[in-house]
Structure 1
Amino acid sequence: MKDSFPRRFAYEILANIRFIKYGIKNPKSIKYKNMLSPLTGRFWSYRYQDVCGIESDKYLSEPFFYNRLEAKVNDFGLNKFLDHKGYISNILNGNTVAIIANCIAGTIYDSNDKVIEFNDLVLLLERSDPKLEFVIKRSIGTGGGNGVEIGVAKHIVPFLKSYFDEKYDFVIQPVITQHDDLAIFNPSSINTVRVMSFSYHGNVYPISTVLRMGNGGRIDNSAAGGVSIGVDNTGKLRDFAIDHDFKKYYQHPGTSINFSDGYFIPYFNELLELVKDKHKFLKSHGIISWDLTVDNDGNMSIIEYNAGWGEINFHQANNGPIFKNHIKYIRCINK
């Protein structure tokens, strides 16, 4: 049902009603234009521009993105498989986070893909270094950080038992390290580099990058209280970040770091090249959203990716009209 036409159609109606109400409350938005959604798109154009300050009629409204672009370039029938965290390493063939345990259909596999009994996995975790931290994630449906827990074995084991009893698929992974230039913003979370890539006619274009940062917690997702900040095409962070409600922050709300001091994403070009390379393993999907990180030695890791419902709002609110160079193709597939 998640990627069904009825759900997306219902979403489009509700989202446009919400933004028509927004337009009524902000009457000057009526004067704005939107090339691809002339009627309701003007309200989205105004909302995005009001945050990032970039004037354009080439913003994609959220309903247009999901129903007129993503729906046409991504094979939704494959999403459940492609988004399943237990299969990511097999699909991408490298640069993924190691797996300590992978539970699929009630069977648990260890790091060598050998079957391991539940009680043996519990013992393995309980006998580990008491300071060693792990991540346990449900393999499907972790949007907004739901179904993700981070901590030492004592914290993780109760969730392991719960997920196993409830017959969820899940993975257990080590907590990876991140580059000091990423950790500085919120050391308690992995602050991920989110890249959206667009592929057509055999070419892959990394069209937008944001850095997602935690705000005192272990999760960097904005739905969990984190913030995101735009990244320009040189890897430099923009002067402000935004939260889930598009509130702007010129300093990190937790660490008070001034974003205008000139911070860069380490190994930025290498991360983009990794995205371009790995998107070719997902030929059925024209749009992929990637969560990446890199450590001090330049070792790059793909934490996960989204094959559908990839979130366009924080990209455009941070970086402006991210599809502006691809309008001709988008109009072509919508004739």
Structure 2
Amino acid sequence: MRRTASRGFNHRQAVTEEWLRTRVLPRVSGVRFLRYQVRQMHREHLPAMLRDEDSKSVLRIAGDLMKVSARWHCLPFHYFRYGAYRREVSAEGACSFLPETILFHRLLPRVNRDTIDLDDKTSCKKILASAGIPQPALIASGDRRAGVTSDGEAVSLADVLDRASDFGRVVVKPSRYSSGGSGVVIVRPGENSFDLPPYAQRWGTWLVEEYVPQHPDLDVLNPYALNTFRVITLLREGAADVLYVVLKLGGTESSTDNSAAGGMQIRVHPDGELDRHGYDRYLKAHTRHQVSSVPFAGHRITRMREVRELAARCARLFPQVPFIGWDIALTPGGPVVVEGNSSPSLAHIQRTHGGVATELVPALRSVMDRPII
């Protein structure tokens, strides 16, 4: 009988690293996340509740907090983040909101693994390009010392933007370790005073890509930023499902579409129709963008089917990362992928779709703890 070869050192090392990543690191990072949640509670969520004229009584809120804490076995910061203190939200409705603590520290570490190819924006763009995925053209990438053009030519940091002079506006952004639009800069080569070497010293790895125009259906809502879709996909047994689609509109004084910069999010239905209301980070409801006269209600985004199909196609390229939030821009020529996120913003989803715990938690558990080999 043929003897099966035993698994070697590399496999044992991988199992050890997986145990540390899924069991130990979430506990360590949870301590730092607690400080963040306390800070957000103090700066944003409690002031928003105190301004809200539709809040429940203190007694009802106390009862809700006991039920929510018992349901999730964590501190109920999310109760305030999602406005569950409002009178129209029942105790059961409050329990339907998934806490960030549960998603990011208990579920996702056991769902998404080997995320570097996705989270490193330069690597992600190259994988997408190999599959023919439409995306903003990569002009150059690099680190603190030098850059390299998309065709592999070495170039000094001082000369990178000279190579981008034919593109008009370009986007400079960190390749790794940034979120919420941090470090994203819109540059007009030859016109701006932007200096890449100091930027590279601050952010480390970086990339420069083409700035793409947006479709008229989005331009009428806010022409001052590239407004993108956050498309949430889940890959199960090779089949990619689109779970949620959110339109992110930039703020009145921002060139990015992040909520931290004054933006808002709107639920997008499969047929491309927008919800009646969009929501900012304080859960204030808006019927239109501040710079537009076009109401969200009744506004339909064309080519939404293409947006959803493109996200599902991308999801199949990253089988080790089943749960991904794709940022997709819709240009006059069709949708293009801006980037993927292995830690999709739960706030974007639940601000626009309400509590999603009942459907999302079982879906994520179905892809947890997959074998390494």
Displacement of 1:201 after TM fit? 3.4
Correspondences of 1:81-120 after superposition (within 5 Å): 81-92=117-128, 93=130, 94-104=133-143, 106-120=145-159
Go from structure 1 to structure 2 and tell me whether the alpha carbon gap of 1:199 and 1:167 turns closer, same or farther (over 3 Å shift).
closer
CA contact (8 A) 1:194 1:289 kept: yes
Whose radius of gyration is greater, 1 or 2?
A: 2
Displacement of 1:302 after TM fit? 0.7
Equivalent residue, structure 2, for 1:65: 103
Question: What is the rounded CA distance, in whole Å, between the counterparts of 1:113 and 1:226 in structure 2?
Answer: 36
Equivalent residue, structure 2, for 1:137: 173
1:8 is paired with a residue whose SS is helix
Equivalent residue, structure 1, for 2:352: 318
Equivalent residue, structure 2, for 1:268: 304
- 2:267 is the alignment partner of 1:222: no
Amino acid at match of 1:37: R
Q: Deviations over 1:271-306 (max 9, x none)?
A: 1111111111111112111100122232x2111111
Question: What is the rounded CA distance, in whole Å, between the counterparts of 2:286 and 2:341 in structure 1?
Answer: 26
Corresponding residue pairs, total: 327
Equivalent residue, structure 1, for 2:189: 153
Displacement of 1:172 after TM fit? 1.1
Equivalent residue, structure 2, for 1:307: 342
Equivalent residue, structure 2, for 1:191: 227
Amino acid at match of 1:274: L
CA contact (8 A) 2:37 2:77 kept: no
Equivalent residue, structure 1, for 2:324: 288
Amino acid at match of 2:224: S
Go from structure 1 to structure 2 and tell me whether the alpha carbon gap of 1:331 and 1:60 turns closer, same or farther (over 3 Å shift).
same
CA contact (8 A) 1:209 1:231 kept: yes
Amino acid at match of 2:342: A
Question: What is the rounded CA distance, in whole Å, between the counterparts of 1:36 and 1:69 in structure 2?
Answer: 18
- The TM-score, its normalising length taken from structure 1, stands at 0.83
Equivalent residue, structure 2, for 1:243: 280
Displacement of 1:149 after TM fit? 0.8
- 2:209 is the alignment partner of 1:209: no
CA contact (8 A) 2:226 2:256 kept: yes
Go from structure 1 to structure 2 and tell me whether the alpha carbon gap of 1:24 and 1:191 turns closer, same or farther (over 3 Å shift).
same
Amino acid at match of 1:73: V
2:173 is paired with a residue whose SS is strand
Q: Deviations over 1:146-175 (max 9, x none)?
A: 211113114556331322455721111121
CA contact (8 A) 1:182 1:191 kept: yes
Question: What is the rounded CA distance, in whole Å, between the counterparts of 2:350 and 2:291 in structure 1?
Answer: 24
Go from structure 1 to structure 2 and tell me whether the alpha carbon gap of 1:25 and 1:332 turns closer, same or farther (over 3 Å shift).
farther
Question: What is the rounded CA distance, in whole Å, between the counterparts of 1:15 and 1:334 in structure 2?
Answer: 26
Unaligned runs of 5+ in 1: none
1:143 is paired with a residue whose SS is coil
Displacement of 1:122 after TM fit? 4.3
CA contact (8 A) 2:119 2:340 kept: yes
Go from structure 1 to structure 2 and tell me whether the alpha carbon gap of 1:326 and 1:121 turns closer, same or farther (over 3 Å shift).
closer
Equivalent residue, structure 2, for 1:259: 296
Go from structure 1 to structure 2 and tell me whether the alpha carbon gap of 1:16 and 1:158 turns closer, same or farther (over 3 Å shift).
closer
Q: Deviations over 1:196-236 (max 9, x none)?
A: 11223333221111100012221110001111111223321
Report the aligned-residue RMSD. Answer: 3.6
Go from structure 1 to structure 2 and tell me whether the alpha carbon gap of 1:314 and 1:325 turns closer, same or farther (over 3 Å shift).
same
Displacement of 1:40 after TM fit? 5.1
Task: Choose which of 30, 33, 50 in structure 2 pairs with 1:9.
Answer: 30
Amino acid at match of 1:9: G
Question: What is the rounded CA distance, in whole Å, between the counterparts of 1:37 and 1:333 in structure 2?
Answer: 22
Question: What is the rounded CA distance, in whole Å, between the counterparts of 1:304 and 1:8 in structure 2?
Answer: 24
Question: What is the rounded CA distance, in whole Å, between the counterparts of 1:105 and 1:312 in structure 2?
Answer: 33
Go from structure 1 to structure 2 and tell me whether the alpha carbon gap of 1:144 and 1:26 turns closer, same or farther (over 3 Å shift).
farther
Amino acid at match of 2:275: R
- 2:100 is the alignment partner of 1:79: no
Go from structure 1 to structure 2 and tell me whether the alpha carbon gap of 1:226 and 1:305 turns closer, same or farther (over 3 Å shift).
same
CA contact (8 A) 2:26 2:106 kept: no
